[in-house]
Amino acid sequence: MNEIKNKVKESGLIQLDLANVKPKIEIVGIDISSVLWQGLILKEREFRTWLKDHDWNTYHGKAVFVYCSADAIIPTWAYMLIASNLCGIAKEWIIGSKEELIKILIVSNVKKIDTTSMKDGRVIIKGCSDIPYPDFAMVELMKCIQPVVKSIMYGEPCSTVPVFKRM
């Protein structure tokens, strides 16, 4: 009787799933437009009252992006005060868009990958993953692993596209 063999496992190929770098943390936003006087101006006294009364613990362990949806000029010190209140509570925070935050989280997850077991290995990156900004994630993954691996392919073991091969 013929034994069924896992040829992919025997080939020594290392499979990476792009989904492994997908942010798994809850992402929330703070829109400071609601604090603006008449939707246009930030008044320091009212802003400081809002900061004092705001429940910052709702952001505990989350990733937070801070932005202003109104067309207003927000002084730098206002963002600094918000960041100061998030410090020690939120796991990650930025002044910017949700997209920027997601990309920062992807880069952070890529940097956590232990590449020592990939040294001089042949890697297949599985690309059909539910991840935001897959092109960005793929390029960040390439920057991380290309210096240590022998080759990189994209796709599934049965159908790969060669991407990189060290000579």
Q: What is the pLDDT along the chain (167 residues), one digit of tens a residue?
A: 677 655 555 568 999 999 999 999 999 999 999 999 998 999 999 999 999 999 999 999 999 999 999 999 999 999 999 999 999 999 999 999 999 999 999 999 999 999 999 999 999 998 777 889 999 999 999 999 999 999 999 988 778 899 999 98
pLDDT value at residue 41: 93
Q: What is the pTM of this model?
A: 0.88
Is 99 within the bounds of a domain? no
Is 59 within the bounds of a domain? yes
Give Cβ neighbours of residue 6 (< 8 Å, ≥ 6 apart). none
pLDDT value at residue 6: 54
Same domain, 35 and 12: no
Helix (H, G, I), strand (E, B) or coil at 135: helix
Nearest alpha carbon to residue 108 among 84, 132, 144, 134: 144
For residue 88, give both structure tokens: 């020690």
Same domain, 120 and 82: no
Same domain, 66 and 38: yes
Same domain, 19 and 40: no
pLDDT value at residue 7: 54
DSSP state of 151: E
Task: Let me know: does 91 contact 63? Beta carbons within 8 Å.
Answer: yes
Sign of CA pseudo-dihedral 108, 140, 137, 164: negative
Range of the domain at 133: 7-23+106-165
Helix (H, G, I), strand (E, B) or coil at 109: helix
pLDDT value at residue 99: 98
pLDDT value at residue 129: 72
Same domain, 49 and 84: yes
Same domain, 15 and 42: no
Look at the block and give the residue holding tokens 């929330």: 28
pLDDT value at residue 32: 96
Number of folded domains that form the chain: 2
Helix (H, G, I), strand (E, B) or coil at 32: helix
Helix (H, G, I), strand (E, B) or coil at 142: helix
